[in-house]
Amino acid sequence: MESGLVTIFKGDGMSLKKAGLALLVLVLLLGSGLLGAGEKKLTIWSHWADEDNKKEFVIKAVELFKKDNPDFQVEIVWYQKTQLITSLAAALEAGAGPDIFYLEPKIAGYFPYVDNGVMYDISEYVDDMVQDWAMPFVKEGDMTYLLPLETYGPLLYYNTEIMEKAGVTIPPENAFTTEGLLDAVRKIKAAGFNAFAAGTMDRDWCAAIVVDIILLRYAGLDAWQGVPTGKTVWTNPDLVAGLKYIEQLVKEGAYPPGVSSIRLGESHGQFFGGRYAMFPMKTFFGGRAFVPEDKGGMRADFPLGIMELPLVPDGKGGRYNYIQIGGSYGVNAASQYPEKAAQLLAKMASPEMVDDWMANTKCPAGLKFDPVALEDPYFAAIENAYKGTTLVPGPMFLGMDPTYRDVYLQTSTALVAGQISVDDMVSRLETARQRALR
């Protein structure tokens, strides 16, 4: 590997609790630049420890940066997301931390980076390269605190061969109705296949993929957007009807047994393995799918189809869906070299690198890119799935009070696992809503 570029992996089995206090001290020292004093060095802490294509993107951007800055070393520390959040919060609270770190916009569970003054304003370096629709996600007041790299929305991926064998016909509008999805689940199960690939063990938001959209389409945009603010009560009949529908999906066996003990990566493997008909997932699906099969990707000839999540014929939400900025990066205001760190992010945002991101990670971007990228069959299928859809900022829990959000995701996880009734879920959520308003 090129001199001056170091990568460190801190993955599963390497949690801070297991590694002990010594590792925490080492991590803080690395991030604060107290080791190797006198050297010019930038440190990046990033998610995607097990996603080689995204790691390669970051490494390539670092190498481009180093061509212009040969006197700088750059160290990348790769984490799984849960451990990253823990390590980052500890470091930032100690006034240390990396120069650049992975973050997502306004998602509870992260250190309150903007409110606590730990973010460096990168507006002059990246604003010209951000798509207009993405700007509200990256701004806090006049500050641009985030480079909007990864974009996502929820869709229903499916195995065309299993659907055919089960006698399931894909509707012309490329989306089931709610009743049509129930019928498809029954046919798939009767044909000896599993319906949904899914796992919520290490990603609580996975439980809410279908829940979010069902609630939006049952209750309508105003009620849906009123949930995180606390304006919408959980006894709203449309929300209750949406949750009852999810409960019906669960009773029909849509979700796999033990869904709460299955990891995100394992759920991808379920789907790629060819026994699961459908996979409710977000459009960063491509980041794990389009890698070599021996590294966990789907086979080259996998019979992949993509459609919208189910429509609610009598619902108030029409064909709304949501779009969101996901995995991104920001600069620590306490960095010794914040301008250089921002320049490195500008390398990631360059047309060359954004085209590379789209081509190799198969993930949409919140940065400007060559429209020819949309001619890729995968992106073309996504565009087709979204045809006729109105996109709004999401998901529903975006901007929720942290405790309220936790209750929503915990109860959604329990609901899809068949461990909680809708009445109990509504009661818990209504209590959390009222507490969030105090």
Q: For every residue of the chain, which 3-state class applies, written as one string?
A: CCCCEEEEEECCCCCHHHHCHHHHHHHHHHHHCCCCCCCCEEEEEECCCCCHHHHHHHHHHHHHHHHHCCCCEEEEEEECHHHHHHHHHHHHHCCCCCCEEEECCCCECECCCCCCCCECCCHHHHHHHECHHHHHHHEECCEECCECCEEECEEEEEEHHHHHHCCCCCCCCCCCEHHHHHHHHHHHHHCCCEEECCCCCCCHHHHHHHHHHHHHHHHCHHHHHHHHHCCCCCCCHHHHHHHHHHHHHHHCCCCCCCHHHCCHHHHHHHHHCCCEEEEEEECCHHHHHCCCHHHCCCCCCCCEEEECCCECCCCCCCCEEEEEECCEEEEECCCCCHHHHHHHHHHHCCHHHHHHHHHHHCCCECECCCHHHHHCHHHHHHHHHCCCCEEEECCCCCCCCHHHHHHHHHHHHHHHCCCCCHHHHHHHHHHHHHHHHC
Q: What is the pLDDT of residue 11?
A: 57
pLDDT at 13: 41
CATH 3.40.190.10 domain span(s) along the chain: 5-150+326-368, 153-324+385-437
Query: Is 51 or 107 the better-scoring residue by pLDDT?
Result: 51
Q: What is the pTM of this model?
A: 0.84
Confidence of residue 9 (pLDDT cuts 50, 70, 90): low
CATH class of the region 5-150+326-368: alpha beta
Q: Which of 47-61, 63-77, 99-113, 174-188 has the lowest mean pLDDT?
A: 99-113
pLDDT score of 15 more than 50? no
416 confidence band (pLDDT: 50, 70, 90)? very high
Mean pLDDT value of segment 165-169: 98
* Interval 184-207 mean pLDDT: 96
Say if domain 153-324+385-437 classifies as CATH 3.40.190.10: yes
Task: Give per-residue pLDDT as tens, 31-74.
Answer: 444 444 457 999 999 999 989 999 999 999 999 999 999 999 99
